[in-house]
Structure formats: C-alpha cells, structure tokens
Amino acid sequence: MFAVIFHADIAQLDDEYFTTAKHMRELAMTEYGCLDFVATTEGTREIAISYWPSLDHIKHWKQNTEHLQAQQQGRSRWYKSYKVEVVELLRTYESPFSH
C-alpha cells in the first residue's frame, strides 16, 4: 500500500475550494481506487493523506483532467506553497480498541 501526503501553506480557502475538495475526494475513492482519505487544517497549514493500493492507481489519479484543473486552482488561488510526498507503507498496526 502507498500513501500520498500533501502539505500546504494556505493562501485562502473559499466555498469553491470546499466544493472542489469534496468532489475530488469522492472521485478518487469511487473511480480511482483510493482506499482512504483524511485531511486537517490548523491555522494556515493543511495536511491531507490519501491511501492507495499501487503506484499505478496514483499515476492514473494524477492524470485525471478534473484533478489537474483542481491542482491549477490550488496553485493560483488556494495555496501559497505545497509539497507532495509519495511513500510506501511497510507496516500498519492498530490498537485492540479500534472500531
């Protein structure tokens, strides 16, 4: 399994951002094989982590036209800067009290 970690310094988040983010999450999970997606914002920083079964899944998602348009909006409107990390998960474990 792989994870994509997105770090961003926020310029401004408007209503269009929230609508776009929700649509991108749904599209990634329903049509591109994304297994899970979590995001949080604290002050002017955002981090989002998505989980994928393979690098090919990530590659196909990265090439999606709507995703490319959302990235352009991010660069021009919503973020001052960002960084993306793609990592391979070597091990996962949970507490015995997980849901």
Q: What is the pLDDT of residues 42-84, one digit of tens each?
A: 999 999 999 999 999 999 999 999 999 999 999 999 999 999 9
- Right CATH number for 2-88 from 1.10.10.10, 3.40.50.2300, 3.30.70.100, 3.40.50.720? 3.30.70.100
Q: Are 51 and 34 in contact (CB under 8 A)?
A: yes
Q: Give me the torsion for CA of 24, 70, 15, 8, rounded to 10°.
A: 90
Rounded (5°) CA angle 72-26-38: 85
Confidence of residue 96 (pLDDT cuts 50, 70, 90): confident
Percent of the chain with pLDDT over 70: 98
Q: Is the dihedral of CA 10, 71, 28, 5 positive or negative?
A: negative
> Which pLDDT belongs to residue 93?
86
Instruction: Return the domain boundaries, the chain.
Output: 2-88
